Amino acid sequence: MLLGTSATASAEPPNCTTADVTAVMGGVSTEMSDYLFAHPDVNAFFSGLQGQGKKTTADKTKAYLNDNPQVRAELDAIRAPALDLRNRCNIPLEAEISGVI
């Protein structure tokens, strides 16, 4: 008797399941929280943006990160696993904005 293999029903890239996404995002969130608690000045800046309009928040964040390249580099390093996941799994930016990733 010949036994064949069939493709799985899912054609997702490796490590792109909901569990994978949740694990990566949980790790990123924990690292970001740890970073913000360890850097009260950065935490205060981002906390101060709460309640401001989208454009104001974006403009102030861009200026802050441009003025603080070390902070930008550290935050980029923390967010890198999420960016890698989004790119590897073809998760659209809209999903990131809506809170999926």
Looking at the domain assignment, is residue 49 inside a domain?
Answer: yes
pLDDT, position 15: 84
Looking at the domain assignment, is residue 46 inside a domain?
Answer: yes
Number of structural domains the chain divides into: 1
- Alpha-helical regions (H) of 1-101: 18-38, 40-47, 54-67, 69-88, 93-97
Please check whether residue 24 is in contact with residue 78, taking contact to mean a CB–CB distance below 8 angstroms. no
- Residue 15 DSSP code: T
State pLDDT tens for residues 45-77: 999 999 999 999 999 999 999 999 999 999 999
CATH (domain of 24): 1.20.20.20
Looking at the domain assignment, is residue 33 inside a domain?
Answer: yes
pLDDT, position 90: 86
Residue 96 banded pLDDT, cuts 50, 70, 90 = low
Looking at the domain assignment, is residue 96 inside a domain?
Answer: no
Looking at the domain assignment, is residue 13 inside a domain?
Answer: no
Distance CA 79, CA 12 (A): 22
Domain that holds residue 38: 18-91
